[in-house]
Amino acid sequence: MIIGKLVFGKDGLNHGLELCLSKAGLTAHPVTEATASGCDVLLVSMFWYRNVYELELFLRNSGIKKGSGRPWIIAGGMQATMTPEIVSEFVDFVFIGDGDDHLGAVVKEVFESGQCTHPHIYRSGDASVPDPAMCAPSAYMIRTNDDAGTLRCEIARGCKFKCAFCCIANLKPYREVSFADLEDSIKKASGKRCSFFAPERACHSEWSKIKAALKKHNCHDMGQDARLEHLGEIDGGMVTFGLEGISEKLRRSIGKPFSDQMVMDRLGEFVSTRKNIARVSIYFIANLPGEDESDWENIWELFGRIGKEEWSRRLVLCPVLNPLSPKPFTRLKEAEIDIFAPYGDKWSRLLRRDGGQWGYRIVETLVWGPLERTMDAIVQRGKTSGARVIKRLSSKILKGMPPSKDRVPTARAILGICANEGIHLDYLEGRRKDIA
């Protein structure tokens, strides 16, 4: 049996698939458009909305068709689990949830019979979607094959928190790999670049032991994510955290009740205790339910308060704004959004202080515009009709982002195809609950 594997995007994201293959005792070979049809079974890992467009382009260019058995195509991963109806229109089988303990049985049955009766498999047209499979994490470690090569090891799965926009806690229970099980992997990472990761790794109940062991074995820990309460857990000069709401009011509404004062205190403490310049990335979400101009005034005030602090002269701030993507398995799955809201301009004015300066260095970041938001909403909400839209898109659109000036017209053109397939903008934006 020849098994192929297809992973889009960053190399480090293939940890899940490699873990499943390792537990199943299987070997899979990376495929290209030219080689994929030589496999018996093709495993596709789908992490985010773009992978659905990338998969359509890949299938188109490789000449592979679902249902032909050359090869049988099985998709899994976070996006496949969240939106199996649309994904199943491109592949033969969609695995729902964690595949760690199940991939072996699924691949065997598919290879031998072209069928799959596994309880966590979804096929297009099935009457219902199975609940996600839930498997315990393990201390399995992979080495990414980018130039530097980083060892990656999962230390916990799921999350103790339940933020309204995030699906993690609703897809899987919170489970940890014990320090005793991790110790060997930490020793193997001695002197190497590594990432011992989890959705919120500093919340691991044995984090202090893990951190001490990473230090003791001289591991080059690349992890720089932390919740605001845990910024002090980061040793280096770089940290990334999610504030999400642009105001206290919005943060409270989504389950991250961080006050502006708390932001000032924790950020100030982090920057002041670094040896050199502190580089801080903060993630925000625009278009949360209830957002109005007072929330934008709030974030302007917060940026101004930071600028008044002496410590901010040693700060490089990289704020990132992502407009809300309402996802299945989240409390905000039916939230209304405004795909054409001019968040790019609003954000740029804030970061440039309307032509002035904040008194500390800001790294400018781009914001998803109407094209990215349209393409995302088609995947998150479009179901089988969304697949028909994607199959009608030109390869040029599937390939990637057009130049900035063409993006809004492209979004409008895609929405025209959506309307032909019964998906109206009102539906994608959540004001209408059913596809026509």
Q: How many residues bind ligand SF4 (CB under 6 A)?
A: 10
Binding mask of the shown chain, residues 338 to 357, with x at each position contacting ligand SF4 by CB under 6 A: --------------------
Query: In the 3-class helix/strand/coil scheme, how is 117-153 assigned residue by residue?
Result: CCCCEECCCCCCCCCCECCCCCCCEEECCCCCCCEEE
Q: Any contact of residue 64 with ligand SF4 (CB under 6 A)?
A: no
How far is 41 from 269, CA to CA, in rounded Å? 52
**Residue 140 or 161 with smaller CB distance to ligand SF4:** 161
For residue 87, the tally of other CB atoms under 10 A from its CB is 26
Binding mask of the shown chain, residues 188 to 227, with x at each position contacting ligand SF4 by CB under 6 A: -----------xx---------------------------
Tokens 């790019």, residue? 344
- The span of 5-13, 130-138, 165-173, 419-427 binding ligand SF4 (CB under 6 A) equals 165-173
**Residue 163 or 324 with smaller CB distance to ligand SF4:** 163
> From its phi and psi, is residue 67 left (phi > 0), alpha (psi between -120 and 50) or beta?
left
How far is 287 from 42, CA to CA, in rounded Å? 38
Among 28, 74, 142, 168, the residue binding ligand SF4 under the rule CB under 6 A is 168
In single-letter form, the type of residue at position 358 comes to: W
- The span of 104-112, 164-172, 365-373, 414-422 binding ligand SF4 (CB under 6 A) equals 164-172
What values do phi and psi take at 143, rounded to 5? -110, 120
Among 166, 171, 214, 228, the residue binding ligand SF4 under the rule CB under 6 A is 166
State the alpha helices, DSSP H only, in 49-199: 50-62, 78-82, 84-87, 103-113, 168-171, 179-188
Among 48, 111, 140, 161, the residue binding ligand SF4 under the rule CB under 6 A is 161
State the alpha helices, DSSP H only, in 200-279: 207-216, 248-253, 260-272
**Residue 24 or 203 with smaller CB distance to ligand SF4:** 203
Q: What is the largest CA-CA distance in the chain?
A: 68
> From its phi and psi, is residue 149 left (phi > 0), alpha (psi between -120 and 50) or beta?
left
In single-letter form, the type of residue at position 19 comes to: L
**Residue 6 or 82 with smaller CB distance to ligand SF4:** 82
Smallest gap, in angstroms, from Cβ of residue 93 to ligand SF4? 28
Binding mask of the shown chain, residues 224 to 263, with x at each position contacting ligand SF4 by CB under 6 A: ------------------x---------------------
Q: Any contact of residue 162 with ligand SF4 (CB under 6 A)?
A: yes
Binding footprint of ligand SF4 on the chain (CB under 6 A) = 159, 161-163, 166, 168-169, 199-200, 242
